[in-house]
Amino acid sequence: MIALEHLHVINVIHQEGSFRKASERLFKARSAVSYSVKQVEEYYQIEIFSRDTYRPELTRNGKILINKIQHLLSEANDFDMFARQMNSEVEAELRISISAIFAMDKVTKLLEKLKQEFPKTIIHLDIETASGERMLLDDLVDIGIYGGFEQDARVQYRCIDHCKLPVFISDKFPLAHNSNISQVDLLNYPQVVVKSSYKTSPDSGIVKDGIQWYVSDQHTKKSLIRSGLGWGRLPTHEIEQEIKDNKLIPITTQRTMEVPVYVAKLKTKALGPVGMTVWQFFEDHE
């Protein structure tokens, strides 16, 4: 059987679109990259990349084979992670980032479980805004619990919730008694936005033509909206009583964002017993 390393090289060439870029990504000499391709092609008596084009293009057989290669590499990586996790010692520390829009009561239940089962493990908990994926990719945390619409190929995801974010004003807002408030109407008043907790992460959900007031945390955002100074999106689970008392009013003419929330980790990172408990916790409590 051919070595998995040779198949990995072929997949990287396909992803990068050139032998040169593949060699740079793999930290291998270009001759070593070419050698891997030659080994696979000769072993299976099949041409994977066409020699008729400047850039490496998959042949008809290569296109069929690349799907099998990617599936095999994914299965091999899953096995490697599983085997390493089986032999892992209890982590001395675990770093977790949690989105500010995620229901905190679910987090406290998780922390209670960790405290009971792993009392000596130090937990680092970061409450973040619009930066969970970036923190994970930059290895600032071991596990991220965050919302988002896009997925990165380097990350393994498990969807654990959906967070609804309607646009709200308060009963003190100048337009509170209007029956049909448009986005144009709202542009005359500040949109209250929680700025990203990580400098390289972009803000999202901002109406570019309007006025923005930036705050550092979700509690301040809610307070400003509640006082009637501005408007903005708030997770419904945080303000159930205010909605019931008509202190906060959803703007029905504006689309409600429904953000999928994931527990996520890097595919290349093995989790120990504490990390695996976090990974499995929400599946067990669905």
Say how many residues make up the chain.
Answer: 286
CATH architecture of 167-255: 3-Layer(aba) Sandwich (3.40)
Check residue 204 and give its pLDDT. Answer: 60
- Distance (Å, rounded) from C-alpha 174 to C-alpha 84? 59
SS3 category, 200: coil
Domain ranges of the chain: 4-86, 93-162+260-284, 167-255
Please, where are the H alpha helices in the chain? 4-16, 19-26, 30-44, 60-86, 104-117, 132-137, 183-186, 218-226, 240-244, 273-284
Render pLDDT for 142-198 as a digit per residue (tens, 0 to 9): 999 999 888 898 999 999 999 999 999 999 999 998 888 988 899 999 999 988 877
pLDDT band of residue 53 (cuts 50, 70, 90) is confident
Return the structure tokens found at 202: 């972009």
Right CATH for 4-86 from 1.20.120.160, 1.10.3720.10, 1.10.10.10, 1.25.40.80:
1.10.10.10
Please give the CATH topology (third level) of the domain spanning 93-162+260-284.
D-Maltodextrin-Binding Protein; domain 2 (3.40.190)
At 54, phi and psi to the nearest 5?
A: -65, -45
Tokens 């001395």 sit at which residue? Answer: 92
Amino acid 85: pLDDT? 56
**pLDDT category of residue 203 using cuts at 50, 70 and 90:** low
Please determine, for residue 266, whether its predicted confidence score (pLDDT) is greater than 70: yes
Residue 106: pLDDT band with limits 50, 70, 90: confident
The reply to whether 93-162+260-284 shares the fold of 4-86 is no
Question: Is it the case that residue 278 has pLDDT exceeding 80?
Answer: yes
The least confident of 103-117, 197-211, 231-245, 264-278 is 197-211
Q: What is the pLDDT of residue 195?
A: 86
